[in-house]
Amino acid sequence: MNRPVHVIVGAGQAGANAAAELRRQGFSGRVLLVGDEPHAPYERPPLSKDVLLRPQDTRCAVHPEGFYEEQGIELKLGVSALALDPQARVLRLADGQDIAYDKLLLATGARARRLPLLDALGANVHTLRTLEDARRLGAELRPGRRIALVGAGVIGLELASSAVELGARVTVVEPTRAAMGRCAPPLLSGFLCDAHRRRGVNFLFGAGIEDARREDGDIVLELQDGARILADAVIYGIGVEPDIALAQGAGLDLDGGVVVDAACRTSDPHIYAAGDVAVRRGQARRETWENAQKQGIAAARAMLGLALDAEGAPWFWTDQCGYNVQCVGDMAAPRWIVRGDLAAPPFVLFGLDGEGALAGAITVNLGREMRSARELVDRRARLALDVLQDPGQALRALARAVGEPQPA
């Protein structure tokens, strides 16, 4: 009797954890993990921080050396997947090999969205998505270098923080009116921008790039509002695009990503998707470490017909300017209140929905409080404002009280 074959395309956070979960749950068939990069699976969050700041001391591998061999997981690295035939259940690789599968997981992730105007400048223009990108960028960030950073999202601000720490002079260009506008309330955005400004970062909001050229050895960026920036190098991060080529060629349902159900199943019952490439219909696609981690595990369990864990509110974190910021729940909640003092961290921000229920929470240098804050958000707790704002009221006790059965 032939052993069943489960193939995972994409050797990142989602794919690596899916492969590990298959073995953890006792799957004894063949597990093949295919990745187009030559590196064993690694985590991306350190790329904008520790890989730049402490390259010799930073380990970002998802699993330790020897793990895949010990678990009987076959790694096929540095090879792209060219085509997927769902009728024949065959994956074609760039090296000419055809892999027959019983079930397949698409964990192909996403690619940096391109700005051709900047790409045309050639040297000294960077995006950050891969380990090789980080290594090239590390050689660029040196004392005194003038860095123009286009895009004030999470990665953009993390890069600004790292660049300043390495001695560079940073100007951030953001065409919208706020930093981290998609994933942070104004209170947090303002706090972080103030922290960056104190370290010398210059922000230019509300104007996109009109022109980019080289002039007398400088890179010159002209903005739509007439501002002119001279730089030695440009880094841009304007979002990502899910890598849907295989799914599109296979005729799978797409809607801003590969459409999946709660069990990570695509429109083909033998194909699953997880991580940055996957999207639940009617929901926004999530591009976080936690989402890739959890969906990879959920997809593996679903491939084996196992029950899935309950979903909680989404969580992510960022490290900037010496602050650890952790966020859970709805960052677009209409009302935010402060527990502590914005001018004297640490503090917590609580987001309330229109009916006064707790919809989101943010800890700044208070990571130990995040577990309790998350429990309160998951339960949509309703607490008096003076209780939420009082640092003397232990969040752990509040979360425990909210979780206890109420008397009839």
pLDDT of 407 higher than 50 = no
With CA atoms as reference, report the closest residue to 303 among 3, 1, 7: 7
Mean pLDDT computed over 165-174: 98
CATH of 5-111+241-303, one of 3.50.50.60, 3.40.50.880, 3.40.50.2000, 3.40.50.720: 3.50.50.60
Dist CA 47 CA 318 (whole Å)? 12
Contact between residue 35 and residue 10 where contact means Cβ atoms under 8 Å apart: yes
CATH architecture for the domain at 116-236: 3-Layer(bba) Sandwich (3.50)
CA 320, 324, 329, 332 torsion-angle sign: negative
Dist CA 309 CA 259 (whole Å)? 20
pLDDT of 408 higher than 50 = no
DSSP secondary-structure letter at 226?
Answer: S
- Cα–Cα–Cα angle for 138, 142, 143, nearest 5°? 155
Contact between residue 9 and residue 108 where contact means Cβ atoms under 8 Å apart: yes
DSSP secondary-structure letter at 279?
Answer: E
Partners of 5 in the beta sheet? Answer: 30
Residue type, 118: L
pLDDT tens track for 197-224? 999 999 999 999 999 999 999 999 999 9
CATH of 322-403, one of 3.20.20.70, 3.40.190.10, 3.10.310.10, 3.30.390.30: 3.30.390.30
DSSP secondary-structure letter at 58?
Answer: -
pLDDT tens track for 9-18? 999 999 999 9
pLDDT tens track for 28-84? 999 999 999 999 999 999 999 999 999 999 999 999 999 999 999 999 999 999 999
- Identical fold for domains 5-111+241-303 and 322-403, yes or no, is no
Contact between residue 327 and residue 364 where contact means Cβ atoms under 8 Å apart: no
pLDDT of 110 higher than 80 = yes
Dist CA 21 CA 107 (whole Å)? 14
pLDDT of 406 higher than 60 = no
DSSP secondary-structure letter at 368?
Answer: G
Predicted TM-score (pTM) of this structure: 0.95
- Cα–Cα–Cα angle for 11, 258, 174, nearest 5°? 85
Q: Helix, strand, or coil here: 156?
A: helix
Which sequence spans correspond to the domains of the chain? 5-111+241-303, 116-236, 322-403
Q: What tokens appear for 292 in the block? A: 């890739």
pLDDT tens track for 220-257? 999 999 999 999 999 999 999 999 999 999 999 999 99
